[in-house]
Chain A
Amino acid sequence: MKCQKCEKPATFHITEITDEGVVELHLCEDHARDYLAMTDQPEPTPAPTLAGVLAEQIKASQSAAELKRLDQRSCPVCGITFFEFRSKGRLGCPHDYTCFQAELAPLIVNIHGANEHTGKRPKQGGVAADQQTTLIRLRREMKDAVGKEDYEKASRLRDEIREIEQAASGTQSP
């Protein structure tokens, strides 16, 4: 008898009892080894994924009403809701780390087993970066103002944006 998967003689005869009834397999040594290795070894447990950890954490700590309230919270800078982050797994802007701090902190510890950066630092950071991040909010507000035809507010915002941009380029040129 030939192996069911190749031309070699079948030396292994396996009877499998499955949901669909009894299945007989006739395989050569190589294919039998493949087959047995496939069925014997459980899939290795995958490393915790972001979605998995998030789902666990939310299940454990939130009632339906709390979750609904949490899902509707949004970042004042980029406008992303917690629900959007939760379903897509991606944040909307740097400020989300501050604004969703309470929710993200346990998630981060779960993923990394730590909550504090100990590596490389940019030469400028902290305050300068925060100030830059406010640009995201200002640009968004300016667009809204233009949409509402509130040109006075829009031009005030534009000046504010320019001021921050110029201050930044002043400190950056070598």
Chain B
Amino acid sequence: MNLNDLTQQCGEWLRGSGPESDIVISSRIRLARNLAAFPFIRKCNDQDRLAIEDSLRASTEKLAEVGESFYIDVTELEKVDRQFLVERQLISREHAESEGPRAVTVDSREAFSIMVNEEDHLRMQVMKSGLDLGSAWEQISRIDDVIESSVTYAFHDKLGYLTACPTNVGTGMRVSVMLHLPALVLTRQIEKVFRSLQKISLAVRGLYGEGSQAMGDFYQISNQITLGRSEGDLIKQVSDVVPVLIDYERRARDFLVKESRSDLHDRVSRAFGILCTAQTISSEETMHLLSSVRMGINLGLIADVSIPTVNKLFIHTQPAHLQKLKGSELDSVDRNIERALYLKRHLSGGNGEAN
């Protein structure tokens, strides 16, 4: 399997199944680890980075028991391929844009990925569809154990796993849940929710992590603290707050349905209409309209389109995806035309899948 095979499939985390998947898109846990025998990335020369790649490549090959995976040398990739992996959430933007030897091991079902030579030597993540942090932790911890059996991690008796940035020291863990919160945005309660999350030291980010805007009303909620609490406690902190957010979002949706059902139905139907008939459309507008459609499906206002189809469209209409699917480089004018065509093909066929 290789990178091009990924374009033909849809990531595990977009299946639109799993608990609470009308609102929770995905659950993700990542661990940061470093090898004791090498300096942190900042002080690595290319030779060090290649040696790190070598020893980790050997360890990740032992992951066959966890799932079939393949290794990608990120340094050799074209820009569009690197961006494709970012859009797929398999590597970070920093990993795509930085320089020097670096790599990623990708699970063929896209349930996990392991970045080598990102900010830390190792950044491994597991992604699940819906709210499913428990099994995400089981899997990532097993991956961690397998890799650890052949390398020595930088570990401090008191401070735990040592990381390049002191904000990640301890567990090196970030637990995040991606939520779709269109009704809280529409009813203007989202800011209030964020402020209360920040008070309990949880971070809120957009679809593509740090600094990215909340495109399509997607928000990632994650822990900020990594030291002084066990992995179980950190997972609990996030998983305790998610049901509260789900409840707020459901109540906001009920309110919209009760107070202005016809307005809401109109809004959702118009969004669907534009997506099905536009001749050229930007990525921002697509995300915005797909968000309305996604909520409309969940509220029973739109039939004939499935949630997995809409989930997939959010990702497959991103710039690098369109270019990979088309098989050629496209400027933004051509991308907007190609995007409109792609949406039309996938939305106007009745079951949403027809060509």
| Residues of A in contact with B (beta carbons under 8 Å apart) | 33, 37, 41, 44-47, 50, 77-80, 88-94, 97-98, 104, 107-108, 111-126, 128-130, 132-133, 135-136, 165, 168, 172, 174
Residue B150 at the chain A interface, CB threshold 8 Å: yes
**With A117-B159, A132-B36, A136-B39 already in contact, 5 other A-B pairs whose C-beta atoms are closer than 8 Å:** A90-B40, A113-B225, A122-B148, A126-B157, A174-B149
Whether the Cβ atoms of B170 and A112 lie closer than 8 Å is yes
Pick the most buried of A46, A79, A120: most chain B CB atoms within 10 A of its CB. Answer: A120
Question: How long is the Cα–Cα vector from A113 to B230 in the complex, in angstroms?
Answer: 14
With A91-B42, A97-B156, A172-B150 known as contacts, the answer to whether A108 contacts B224 (CB < 8 A) is: no
Interface residues of B in 209-227 (CB under 8 A from A): 224-227
Tell me the interface secondary structure of chain B in the complex. loop
Tell me how far the C-beta of B43 lies from the nearest C-beta in chain A, rounded to whole angstroms.
4
Closest A residue by C-beta to B160: A117
- Bitwise interface map of B from 132 to 164 toward A, beta carbon under 8 Å scored 1, else 0: 000000000100100011111111111111101
Which stretch in B187-195, B241-249, B286-294 binds the other chain? B187-195
Give every chain B residue within 8 A of A172 (Cβ-Cβ).
149-152
Query: Which 8 pairs across A and B sit closest by C-beta, in order of nearness?
Result: A114-B228, A117-B160, A132-B36, A94-B154, A125-B155, A112-B227, A92-B43, A129-B36
Tell me how far the C-beta of B184 lies from the nearest C-beta in chain A, rounded to whole angstroms.
13
Residue B38 at the chain A interface, CB threshold 8 Å: yes
List 24 contacting pairs A-B, 8 Å CB cutoff, sorted by A.
A44-B194, A80-B43, A90-B41, A92-B43, A94-B156, A97-B159, A108-B159, A111-B166, A112-B227, A114-B225, A114-B229, A115-B227, A117-B169, A117-B170, A118-B229, A122-B148, A122-B153, A125-B152, A125-B153, A129-B156, A132-B152, A135-B37, A165-B37, A174-B149
Interface residues of B in 175-212 (CB under 8 A from A): 188, 191, 194-195, 198, 201, 203
Whether the Cβ atoms of B201 and A47 lie closer than 8 Å is yes
Pick the most buried of B151, B170, B198: most chain A CB atoms within 10 A of its CB. Answer: B170
- Quick one: which of A50, A113, A126, A135 contacts B228, CB cutoff 8 A? A113
Give every chain B residue within 8 A of A121 (Cβ-Cβ).
155, 160
With A92-B43, A123-B148 known as contacts, the answer to whether A44 contacts B157 (CB < 8 A) is: no
Give every chain A residue within 8 A of B226 (Cβ-Cβ).
112
- Quick one: which of B43, B161, B195, B228 contacts A44, CB cutoff 8 A? B195
Q: How many A-B residue pairs have CB under 8 A?
A: 160
Give every chain B residue within 8 A of A132 (Cβ-Cβ).
35-37, 152, 154
Whether the Cβ atoms of B169 and A119 lie closer than 8 Å is no
Tell me how far the C-beta of A117 lies from the nearest C-beta in chain B, rounded to whole angstroms.
3
Interface size on B, residues (CB 8 A): 52
Question: How long is the Cα–Cα vector from A4 to B93 in the complex, in angstroms?
Answer: 37
With A47-B203, A91-B165 known as contacts, the answer to whether A128 contacts B224 (CB < 8 A) is: no
Tell me how far the C-beta of B58 lies from the nearest C-beta in chain A, rounded to whole angstroms.
11
Tell me how far the C-beta of B335 lies from the nearest C-beta in chain A, rounded to whole angstroms.
26
Tell me how far the C-beta of A168 lies from the nearest C-beta in chain B, rounded to whole angstroms.
6
Give every chain A residue within 8 A of B228 (Cβ-Cβ).
112-118
With A117-B227, A118-B230, A132-B152 known as contacts, the answer to whether A78 contacts B39 (CB < 8 A) is: yes
